[in-house]
Amino acid sequence: MDRANVSFDWWLITPVVLLVCLGLFMLRSVAPQQLVSQTIFVAISVAVFLVFSLTDYRWFFSLHLPAYALSLLAMILPFLFGISSRGAHRWLIFGDVFFQPSEVAKPFLLITFAMLAAGLSQYKQAKLAVAFLIPALIIFFQPDLGTMLVLTVGWLTVFVPQLPRKAVLVGALVLIILSPLTWFLLRDYQRDRLLTFINPHSDPLGKGYQVIQSTIAVGSGQWWGKGLGQGTQSQLQFLPEQHTDFMFATLAEELGFVGAGAVIILFGLVFNRIYALAFQAPDLAANFFCLGVLASLGFQVFINIGMNMGLAPVTGITLPFVSYGGSSLLSLAITFGILAAISRQGAGKIA
């Protein structure tokens, strides 16, 4: 067998492995009680990655419609059998394990968007719109604004190129004009987050508490950080969600500018490799999938780091590979397994 067909894309995998290891080190520092479960999630995700990376990605793409239907069904299940937390219906619970179907559904939805965008049907724009609106509405009513935004960015990346330039310009103008109306579609806590982003000090012990503590943590790390286990904001529980949404702030406090910078560099290497895969992919559907992943993952990283530094509203978006969460790791394992398969099968073209 050709060695190129069995080798892995280490330029893609290596920075991901380093990010996962860094996440485990940070979890051991701030939430050691979660370390065992996260390590188990990592082991399962590695197995899932191997399955997807060693399988012909075109087989998964050919099953995009059944996968899409099953994804929608899985996303509806939390309304029927899941738990309600703070008014949200996002999770299924199995013993002590919380599972978020909408998170794991993302790569399969992106596959569907990519296949529809690559099709020859004259109605593919309408199909793409419907294929997005159904899961977007389900996620909106869960509600999970963060996941919906990430999915929207991935969909727009493959949808907009299918439209005439005039339609894109008119659509953008309409969205700008109508954007103030979205305020009335938001729930009260989502409006509070936007107002808090504008002025977190208006309620420093309430709605603005997370943002203020996060920026204190990031700034107090300075160049080299306070050291693992020495961060006052995270270790003394001043910083809420220090191992999930605000893991970057925790890392910046304990490892400083150097550690935070290393995280950003590693993500930059990941993005650069996905970009290369996108424009040297074996077919158009793989190209669209890579671009959708690049845009949605880049948006997720940008928003998470931004909200940790007070530069973006708090949206509940975690930092990929680094933050605690089994559903996120499983989703990323599927996504990067497919990317690795695309790389492997296009090894003759991808330098």
For every residue of the chain, which 3-state class applies, written as one string? CCHHHCCCCHHHHHHHHHHHHHHHHHHHHHCHHHHHHHHHHHHHHHHHHHHHHCCCHHHHHHCHHHHHHHHHHHHHHHHHHCEEECCEEEEEEECCEEECHHHHHHHHHHHHHHHHHHCCCCCHHHHHHHHHHHHHHHHHHCCCHHHHHHHHHHHHHHHHHHCCHHHHHHHHHHHHHHHHHHHHHCCHHHHHHHHHHHCHHHCCCCCCHHHHHHHHHHHHCCCCCCCCCCCHHHHCCCCCCCCCCCHHHHHHHHHHHHHHHHHHHHHHHHHHHHHHHHHCCCCHHHHHHHHHHHHHHHHHHHHHHHHHCCCCCCCCCCCCCCCCCHHHHHHHHHHHHHHHHHHHHCCCCCC
Residues 28-61 have pLDDT tens digits of 988 889 999 999 999 999 999 999 999 999 999 9
What is the bridge-based pairing of β-strands 83-85 and 97-99? unpaired
Residues 198-207 have pLDDT tens digits of 777 777 777 7
Task: Answer whether residue 5 shows pLDDT above 80.
Answer: no
Query: How many CA within 13 A on the CB side of residue 119?
Result: 19
The arithmetic mean of pLDDT across residues 80-85, rounded, is: 78
Going across the sheet that includes 97-99, the strands are 83-85, 88-94, 97-99
Higher pLDDT, 295 or 8: 295
Closest by CA to 286, choosing from 152, 110, 143, 142, is: 110
Contact 103, 273 (CB under 8 A): no
Residues 305-331 have pLDDT tens digits of 999 998 888 887 899 999 998 899 999
pLDDT at 109 (0 to 100)? 97
pLDDT at 176 (0 to 100)? 82
What is the distance between the alpha carbons of residues 125 and 65, in angstroms, rounded to a whole number?
16
Please report which confidence band the pLDDT of residue 347 belongs to, taking 50, 70 and 90 as the band edges. low
pLDDT at 3 (0 to 100)? 44
The arithmetic mean of pLDDT across residues 76-97, rounded, is: 81
Residues 108-159 have pLDDT tens digits of 999 999 999 998 777 888 999 999 999 999 998 888 888 999 999 999 999 9
Buried b (16+ CB within 10 A) or exposed e, 200-228: beeeeeebbbbbbbbbbbbebbeeebbee
pLDDT at 92 (0 to 100)? 87
Sign of CA dihedral 85, 90, 92, 98: negative
8 Rama sector, left if φ>0, alpha if ψ -120 to 50, beta otherwise: beta
Residues 59-82 have pLDDT tens digits of 999 999 999 999 999 999 999 887
Contact 78, 91 (CB under 8 A): yes
pLDDT at 316 (0 to 100)? 79
Task: Answer whether residue 6 shows pLDDT above 60.
Answer: no
What is the distance between the alpha carbons of residues 120 and 103, in angstroms, rounded to a whole number?
29
pLDDT at 204 (0 to 100)? 73
Give helix 284-308 / helix 101-118 axis angle, nearest 10°.
140
Closest by CA to 191, choosing from 313, 48, 44, is: 313
pLDDT at 4 (0 to 100)? 44
The arithmetic mean of pLDDT across residues 275-281, rounded, is: 92
Residues 218-252 have pLDDT tens digits of 888 889 888 888 888 888 778 888 888 899 999 99
